[in-house]
Amino acid sequence: MGAHIYKKLEIVGSSPTSIEEAVNNAVTKAAESIRNIKWVEVLETRCHVENQKIAYWQVTVKIGFTLDDN
């Protein structure tokens, strides 16, 4: 087995419920088209406000994954 080569992809997940769910939503969506996900880095956390209340959370993450060996 050779050295692992990784790639990182930056995406934003959202949730009306929580920061954790926003991260989970981002990972779940990324996993539909990316294999070999190994880690997640949380870069930013923010929330969208409507009518003076938090409407939903937004979390910017970097998804780390290994590239396929060919």
For residue 45, report the phi and psi dihedrals to the nearest 5 degrees.
Answer: -130, 130
Please report whether residue 36 resides in a domain: yes
Q: Indicate the number of domains in the chain.
A: 1
Tens of pLDDT, residues 17-29: 999 999 999 999 9
CATH number for the domain harbouring residue 39 = 3.30.1660.10
Identify the domain containing residue 31 by its residue range: 6-66
Residue 39 falls inside a structural domain: yes
With respect to residue 1, please indicate whether it lies within any of the assigned structural domains: no
pTM: 0.86
Residue range 35-60, pLDDT digits in tens: 999 999 999 999 999 999 999 999 99
